[in-house]
Amino acid sequence: MKSGDFTFGVVSPAGPTPPEVFDAGVAGLQKLGFGVKVFPHARGNCGYLSAPAKERAADLISAWSDPEVDGILCARGGFGSAHILPLLPWERMKKRQLPLLGFSDVTALHLAMDRMGAGRPITAPMLKFIPDLDADSLDAFLAALEKRDGEFDGVETLAGTGVFSGRPLAGNLTVTASLLGTPYFPDPSGRVLVLEEVGEPLYRIDRMLTQLEQAGVFAACAGVVFGEFTEGNFTSAELRELLFRVMERSCTSAVIKYPFGHELPFRSIDFTATLAVRNGKIARLFA
């Protein structure tokens, strides 16, 4: 894939983006050679939301239906993606396997897309991160779009054998836990759960992990990959002990130290790939 042959539709399904940050992101995409089409409410600001839910949903639907758009890039996370899930025409969206890129609050869209069988969810840096991408993060971003096999060497076994594989369910821990019990949570059976978090104290992380554990998510999945848990005012040893305790109780194999979270570097993850974890390595494989 040549970036010059690819146009991103930019939407804001959750929070607003400062104008200077938005403009820098668009310029960064164009510098990389991508076409950019900004949808009407993407630059909006409505408190902690970019726009009312109907307008945010309308932008996403318009981008999805636009033949000039090859993929959708979300401007930022924050909160609000869950608002638009009941407003989306899922049956119509199934007809186009469009990549939708983002992370954090965009997890709500990604999990719902997976559940409904619509599009290609890809966890990837959002518009605000584009100007600051390092070489590895940019390569992972492009590799996900191009469905290119690859490998990351550097994870550590936390619990179990550290050997497992499956298609990923990747996203933010808070948003993932919040979708439990809704029609938008996918079946985790045989999947590789990839989780990250930012700004949450240890007891809240414990609360959300316990919720997933007691809902049977960890027991059902093939294994868990833990990304970055940042800005939480705890030590790495305290976090590791908590993660180990939950995984041991669930009898779930898990690895840690995958570069996935609210800081760069960021290894983009395509839900349609297979993640194979073995010997401290994670291979990304496309059929």
Catalytic residues: 104, 196, 262
Helix (H, G, I), strand (E, B) or coil at 182: coil
Q: Tell me the CA distances in angstroms from 284 to 83, 134, 151, 194, one per residue in order.
A: 32, 20, 6, 13
Kindly compute the dihedral angle of the four CA atoms of residues 184, 187, 192, 195, in this order, to the nearest 10 degrees: 30
* 273 vs 210: CA distance, rounded Å: 28
Beta-bridge partners for 230: 198
Q: Tell me the CA distances in angstroms from 117 to 7, 25, 98, 169, 174, one per residue in order.
A: 23, 29, 11, 13, 23
Centre a 10 Å sphere on the Cβ of residue 259 and count the other Cβ atoms it contains. 18
Long-range contacts of 117-123 (CB under 8 A, 24+ apart): 118/90, 118/93, 118/94, 119/64, 119/93, 120/270, 120/271, 120/272, 121/270, 121/271, 122/268, 122/269, 122/270, 122/271, 123/170, 123/171, 123/194, 123/260, 123/268, 123/269
Burial class (CB in 10 A: 0-12, 13-18, 19+), 47: exposed
Helix (H, G, I), strand (E, B) or coil at 253: coil
